[in-house]
A and B are shown apart, each in its own frame.
Chain A
Amino acid sequence: EAGVAQSPRYKIIEKRQSVAFWCNPISGHATLYWYQQILGQGPKLLIQFQNNGVVDDSQLPKDRFSAERLKGVDSTLKIQPAKLEDSAVYLCASSRRTGGSYEQYFGPGTRLTVT
């Protein structure tokens, strides 16, 4: 089974520019997550989709971040405009219900550097 795919793997932009990340989850996984992982910290959930609907975006900085999941499959995360503090690894994960829990599978991440 193919894993979670993400692109690009690396991105360097200047502050105030915009950037977009793409994620393709594991086939059949209804739930998709975007996390932000700042260096030296654990991942922090930005947004969670169930199919193409948002179930949790409480920690998404909505003035600059947006995300969509068209047709309940692929997803894009956008930052516009970027700030220096957005430098981080952006992780996408997907899951499906297994028994009584959701087991999340992570992609390799996109490392963003804002200069």
Chain B
Amino acid sequence: GNSVTQMEGPVTLSEEAFLTINCTYTATGYPSLFWYVQYPGEGLQLLLKATKADDKGSNKGFEATYRKETTSFHLEKGSVQVSDSAVYFCALSDPSGYSTLTFGKGTMLLVSP
């Protein structure tokens, strides 16, 4: 079956540091890949997505590249801010049927001033 593995958190960084959150996946076929962000007390928000190999998704300074050869979709940001503190979820969408999402366990990011 489909699965997503994320690096365990929390990831603790100082403001302006470089961020990488690793995500690898197992899937049949060619899934779409997503990063969602969950701020405290809120629902999930789509951060970025990529629908095919070598696509790069980007939003709000975050980037992730769909690497089919390594089955990875690592999230990166060059300079994090305190406001980026949240839980980040990597997910894949089954290309068959109605595109059910399979999520990783989430990685908490804590950014200090």
Enumerate chain A interface residues (CB-CB to B < 8 A).
4, 31, 33, 40-45, 48, 50, 55-56, 91, 93, 95, 99-109
Contact = CB atoms under 8 A, between A and B. Distances in A.
Contacts of B44: 43, 91, 93, 106
Interface stretch (B59-67, B74-82, B99-107): B99-107
27 contacts: A33-B101, A40-B106, A42-B89, A42-B103, A42-B104, A42-B105, A43-B89, A43-B103, A45-B101, A48-B98, A55-B97, A56-B97, A56-B98, A56-B100, A91-B44, A100-B51, A101-B32, A101-B51, A101-B93, A102-B99, A103-B46, A103-B49, A104-B101, A106-B43, A106-B44, A106-B45, A107-B43
A50 B32 CA distance: 20
B98 A42 contact: no
Interface of B: 4, 32, 36, 41-46, 49, 51, 89, 91, 93, 97-101, 103-106
B100 A48 contact: yes
A103 B47 CA distance: 11
Contacts of A43: 44, 89, 101, 103
Do most interface residues of chain A lie in helix, strand or loop, or is the interface mixed? Answer: strand
Nearest to A9: B41
Contact of A91 (B43, B46, B91): B43
B57 to A, nearest CB: 12
Given A43-B101, A93-B44, A108-B42, 10 more contacts: A33-B101, A40-B106, A43-B103, A55-B98, A56-B98, A101-B32, A101-B99, A102-B93, A107-B43, A108-B43
A104 to B, nearest CB: 6
Given A4-B43, A40-B105, A42-B89, A102 B98 contact: yes
The 5 A-B pairs of least Cβ separation, nearest first, read: A42-B103, A106-B43, A102-B99, A106-B44, A108-B43
A4 B46 CA distance: 14
Contacts of A106: 36, 43-45
